[in-house]
Amino acid sequence: MEAVVGLVVMLLAVSHGVETKCDVRQKDGAQCYGALGGTVVLQLMDRVPERFTIEKKTIKILIWKKNEISQNINEVKYSFTSSDGTFRINNLIRSDTDEYTLKIRNSNGALLEVRTLQLSIQAPVSSVRLVSECLSQGEMRMSCSSEGGDSPQYSWTLDGRTLTEDKLLSGNHETDSITLRQDVSGVLLCSVKNHVSHLQKYQSISTCGFIFINCTESDETRITQWVFAANNKLCVEQTTTPTAPDTTVDPSVICGVQTAVAALLFIGIAAYFAWRKKKSQRAEGSAMPQEREYPETSV
């Protein structure tokens, strides 16, 4: 049980132990921010003067004199490091939001310089949540919410690039809720930050299943709209495969054709041999000697 309690305390210390820094050297009226429950480190100077005071409104919270702190109203909360000229305010609470004044004096107490700064305490962002919702026309609404942060600022990117207007139907890349167009997909990232924290949450998104119809129906009606692909019945082309003609031939027809071809072939062969025979007979007749007849009155 003690180990569990110790772990919880450690986690709380880590989550509330945010340290921020603010450089106020040679600056008057600087704006600084600290995380609620954390520490702010104010860079006041490079060279430590002989005497100076730090005041919160009119209350002196720290006095430096003769190279040491001569007065500190709360040593746990306020500390000054002479080696680097930094002033730390620990365990920040809401009431630490105020104006602080640095007054530098010489050894005689004469005022040499006065500088002021405004410190604002903010709660850091503790978590980020993304919620997606498909709308009736295929648009996608994305909501980014955060917990624990004061004055959170939002920004969106898609695939590592700033989300542009051509991807959006409403909202912009600096709002907590946006509506994406029907064809947008990729890795969407929401960043939430304030002056003391910065958290991010990403989600891989795809389209809501809609397609864009741009065609003309059979009745000459022009269709241009987004429809859910699974239920689409607009401008659907006929995909029925035409029936191939029946090429089966009756066996009796094949048999008849074969018989006719055989008969023609037989007649052709017979005619050819008859022609050869007749030609041969003519040739033999022309080769025999002719008997000549003479009239009786011939000598």
- Other C-beta atoms within 10 Å of 111: how many? 10
Residue owning tokens 């709360």: 74
The CA distance from 105 to 109, in Å, is: 5
- Residue 24, CA distances (Å) to 30, 117, 138, 178, 212 in order: 6, 8, 52, 38, 57
User: Strands (DSSP E) along 57-110, which ranges?
Assistant: 59-65, 68-72, 78-81, 86-89, 98-105
The CA distance from 124 to 108, in Å, is: 44
- Other C-beta atoms within 10 Å of 192: how many? 23
The pLDDT of residue 240 is 39
Q: What are phi and psi of 203, to 5 degrees?
A: -150, 135
Q: Averaged in consecutive runs of 10 residues, what is the pLDDT profile of the chain (299 residues)?
A: 31 58 91 96 94 94 93 95 96 97 92 95 95 90 94 95 90 91 92 96 88 71 70 58 52 68 76 73 56 40
Show the domains of the chain with their CATH numbers. 16-122 (2.60.40.10), 127-205 (2.60.40.10)
The pLDDT of residue 126 is 93
> From the CA atom positions of the chain, what is the Rg in Å?
52
| Total number of residues shown for the chain | 299
The CA distance from 133 to 268, in Å, is: 87
In DSSP terms, which residues pair with 225 in a beta bridge?
213
Are 38 and 19 a contacting pair, CB within 8 Å? yes
The CA distance from 228 to 29, in Å, is: 58
The pLDDT of residue 55 is 97
Are 111 and 105 a contacting pair, CB within 8 Å? yes
- Residue 257, CA distances (Å) to 207, 245, 249, 253 in order: 65, 22, 12, 6
Are 140 and 206 a contacting pair, CB within 8 Å? no
The pLDDT of residue 225 is 65
The pLDDT of residue 189 is 96
The pLDDT of residue 199 is 95
